[in-house]
């Protein structure tokens, strides 16, 4: 099983690269087609979208976890029941969310200085669609249908890319870009339902779903903490520093995130494989070791490049206007590499049904926030806080891993 990790990782990596490239070109096109004021409004709306979609990633992970178990047992009827049950839960949650936003969208638009408050309503509709996308992509991932997963994600990104650019080009402005975003989500969801056709053809097999919901709460909390660990620094830098310094920090943040995106395909592939092995009472540590080795090679190579060629990377990717980001780039690459390992271990613990690691994530998330609030005399100081906190978290998670394996008498070989 673990011998296919590299192959499947390559499929996911190729798909993720295509999606990220489409999204990146879309951002560049929007910057050229919209006025600076319109572009600022669009990025603010996308930021709001991303904040709420963080929880959607936990839906994907949870779906992957249980779909993997049922897939390894050839219980497609239970996967169908899971899709229908989770679909109903998402539908009810979405309806409640949209009702709340309906009454608050004016206030939200005013707070964000968005002149057209209807954009907030439509954006939240897109957020609700994203939950269905995450659930469906999680099912495909759990069934190890990685090519289908890539097709679903590319259909989403390409629809947003083509339709969004066309609508903005023909004068629909920010609304056109948001329409493209939402339309992409709808097309992606339809593609997901189509690609799961063989599951829907089976007779639904009921099972006790309460256990999955209890597990879901822990994973949801864990993913929120991961999101805080990897994003709260940008928010706090925007609060404590000048606009120019915050822009430089954001540029360095964006460049360093390339490392995280490059290694994220490993976590996508690791989850279903480790879940399947765990459900069959097989040793999952071999899969983890291979993933850790590949990630180490990628992170070391990337970090060395960021330390040795920071000027070239900054000038090539974001331009000379962000030359002040050069001194930050190497440290930021190191921080991102450490977080990539934290994320990998979090996904691994999820796959083997360990939940208490979420407590570690919560504790270190709070610590990171407190330290940045107290110490923020320079951007480098913020980065050193991130490096220290996340390195300590990685050490704590490694200790938790070895303690857990020793307690359960599982050989790490």
Q: Could you tell me if residue 12 is inside a domain?
A: yes
Q: Could you tell me if residue 391 is inside a domain?
A: yes
Whether residues 150 and 221 share a domain: the answer is no
Tell me the two tokens of residue 335. Answer: 């921080």
User: How is residue 26 annotated by DSSP?
Assistant: H
Query: Is it the case that residue 413 has pLDDT exceeding 50?
Result: no
Distance in angstroms (rounded) separating the CA atoms of residues 99 and 101: 5
Name the residue range of residue 11's domain.
1-207
Q: Could you tell me if residue 392 is inside a domain?
A: yes
Burial state string for 146-170 with b = 16 or more CB within 10 A and e = fewer than 16: bebbbbbbbbbbbbbbebbbebbee
Whether residues 152 and 20 share a domain: the answer is yes
Q: Which residues contact 376 (CB under 8 A, 6 or more apart)?
A: 236, 237, 240, 241, 382
Q: Of the candidates 106, 82, 97, which has an alpha carbon nearest to the alpha carbon of residue 129?
A: 97
pLDDT band at residue 382 under the 50/70/90 scheme:
very high
Count H helices and E strands in the chain, helices first. 14, 0
pLDDT digits (tens, 9 = 90+) for 209-243: 666 566 666 677 777 788 778 777 876 776 777 76
- Return the pLDDT at 184: 93
Distance in angstroms (rounded) separating the CA atoms of residues 212 and 210: 5
- Return the pLDDT at 166: 95
Whether residues 102 and 237 share a domain: the answer is no
Q: Could you tell me if residue 247 is inside a domain?
A: yes
Whether residues 230 and 85 share a domain: the answer is no
Q: Of the candidates 63, 85, 64, 74, which has an alpha carbon nearest to the alpha carbon of residue 144?
A: 64
Structural domains in the chain (count): 2
- Return the pLDDT at 284: 59
Report the 10 Å Cβ neighbour count for 223: 25
Whether residues 262 and 143 share a domain: the answer is no
Angle at 162 between CA 24 and CA 39, to 5 degrees: 55
Q: Could you tell me if residue 413 is inside a domain?
A: no
- Return the pLDDT at 364: 94
pLDDT digits (tens, 9 = 90+) for 316-356: 776 777 788 889 999 999 999 999 899 888 877 876 667 67
Q: Could you tell me if residue 229 is inside a domain?
A: yes
Query: Is it the case that residue 23 has pLDDT exceeding 50?
Result: yes
pLDDT band at residue 249 under the 50/70/90 scheme:
confident
Query: Is it the case that residue 18 has pLDDT exceeding 90?
Result: no
Query: Is it the case that residue 371 has pLDDT exceeding 50?
Result: yes
Which of 189, 207, 225 is a domain's end point?
A: 207
Tell me the two tokens of residue 411. Answer: 């050989």
Q: Could you tell me if residue 254 is inside a domain?
A: yes
pLDDT band at residue 313 under the 50/70/90 scheme:
confident
In sign, the C-alpha dihedral spanning 270, 73, 201, 127 is negative
Which of 174, 207, 240 is a domain's end point?
A: 207
Whether residues 169 and 53 share a domain: the answer is yes
Whether residues 227 and 307 share a domain: the answer is yes
Whether residues 265 and 367 share a domain: the answer is yes
Q: Of the candidates 165, 156, 332, which has an alpha carbon nearest to the alpha carbon of residue 233?
A: 332
Residue appearing with tokens 């469906």: 136
Q: What is the pTM of this model?
A: 0.66
Burial category of 136 from C-beta neighbours within 10 Å (exposed 0-12, middle 13-18, buried 19 and up): buried
Whether residues 199 and 223 share a domain: the answer is no
Whether residues 13 and 137 share a domain: the answer is yes
- Return the pLDDT at 370: 95
- Return the pLDDT at 251: 72
Q: Which residues contact 346 (CB under 8 A, 6 or more apart)?
A: 222, 226, 357, 361, 397
Instruction: Describe the crossing of helices 379-407 and 243-279 by its angle, rounded to 10 degrees.
Output: 10
Share of the chain above pLDDT 90, in %: 24
Q: Could you tell me if residue 412 is inside a domain?
A: no
- Return the pLDDT at 303: 92
Cα separation of the two ends of the chain: 16
Whether residues 1 and 49 share a domain: the answer is yes
Q: Residue range 260-277: average pLDDT?
A: 64
Whether residues 260 and 201 share a domain: the answer is no
- Return the pLDDT at 385: 96
pLDDT digits (tens, 9 = 90+) for 131-179: 888 888 888 887 777 788 888 989 999 999 999 999 999 989 889 989 9
Which of 148, 181, 207 is a domain's end point?
A: 207
- Return the pLDDT at 1: 47
Distance in angstroms (rounded) separating the CA atoms of residues 101 and 90: 16
332 with 387: CB under 8 angstroms? no
Tell me the two tokens of residue 112. Answer: 């964000």
318 with 111: CB under 8 angstroms? no
Q: Residue range 263-290: average pLDDT?
A: 62
- Return the pLDDT at 285: 66
Query: Is it the case that residue 411 has pLDDT exceeding 70?
Result: no
DSSP codes, 347-395: HHHHHTT--THHHHHHHHHHHHHHHHHH--SSHHHHHHHHHHHHHHHHH
Q: Residue range 174-192: average pLDDT?
A: 91
Range with the lowest mean pLDDT among 18-22, 70-74, 136-140, 166-170? 70-74
pLDDT digits (tens, 9 = 90+) for 97-106: 999 999 998 8
Query: Is it the case that residue 262 has pLDDT exceeding 80?
Result: no
């Amino acid at each position: 099983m673990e011998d296919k990790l590299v192959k499947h990782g390559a499929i996911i990596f190729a798909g993720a690269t295509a999606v990220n490239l489409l999204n990146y070109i879309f951002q560049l096109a929007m910057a050229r087609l919209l006025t600076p004021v319109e572009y600022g409004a669009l990025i603010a709306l996308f930021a709001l979208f991303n904040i709420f979609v963080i929880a959607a990633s936990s839906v994907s992970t949870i779906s992957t976890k249980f779909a993997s178990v049922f897939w390894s047992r050839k219980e497609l009827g239970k996967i169908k029941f899971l899709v229908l049950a989770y679909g109903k839960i998402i539908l009810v949650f979405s309806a409640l969310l949209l009702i709340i936003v309906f009454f608050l969208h004016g206030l939200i638009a005013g707070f964000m200085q968005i002149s057209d408050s209807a954009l907030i309503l439509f954006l939240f509709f897109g957020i609700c669609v994203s939950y269905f996308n995450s659930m469906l992509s999680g099912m495909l991932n759990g069934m190890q249908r990685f090519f289908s997963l890539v097709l679903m994600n590319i259909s989403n990104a390409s629809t947003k890319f083509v339709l969004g650019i066309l609508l903005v080009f023909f004068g629909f402005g920010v609304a056109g870009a948001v329409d493209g975003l939402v339309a992409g989500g709808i097309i992606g969801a339809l593609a997901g339902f189509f690609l799961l056709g063989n599951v829907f053809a089976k007779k639904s097999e009921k099972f006790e779903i309460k256990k999955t919901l209890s597990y879901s709460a822990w994973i949801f909390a864990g993913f929120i903490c991961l999101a805080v660990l990897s994003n709260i620094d940008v928010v706090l830098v925007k609060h404590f520093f000048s606009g120019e310094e915050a822009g430089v920090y954001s540029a360095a943040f964006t460049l360093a995130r390339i490392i995280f995106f490059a290694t994220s395909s490993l976590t996508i592939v690791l989850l279903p494989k480790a879940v399947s092995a765990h459900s069959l009472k097989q040793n999952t540590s071999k899969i983890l070791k291979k993933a850790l080795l590949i990630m180490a090679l990628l992170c070391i190579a990337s970090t060395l490049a960021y330390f040795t060629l920071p000027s070239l990377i900054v000038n090539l990717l974001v331009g000379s206007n962000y030359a002040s980001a050069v001194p930050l780039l190497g440290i930021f690459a190191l921080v991102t590499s450490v977080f990539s390992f934290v994320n990998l271990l979090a996904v691994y613990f999820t796959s083997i049904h360990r939940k208490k690691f979420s407590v570690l994530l919560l504790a270190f998330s709070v610590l990171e926030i407190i330290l940045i609030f107290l110490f923020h005399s320079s951007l480098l100081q913020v980065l050193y806080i991130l490096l220290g906190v996340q390195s300590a978290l990685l050490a704590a998670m490694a200790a938790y891993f070895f303690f857990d394996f020793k307690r359960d008498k599982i050989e790490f070989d």
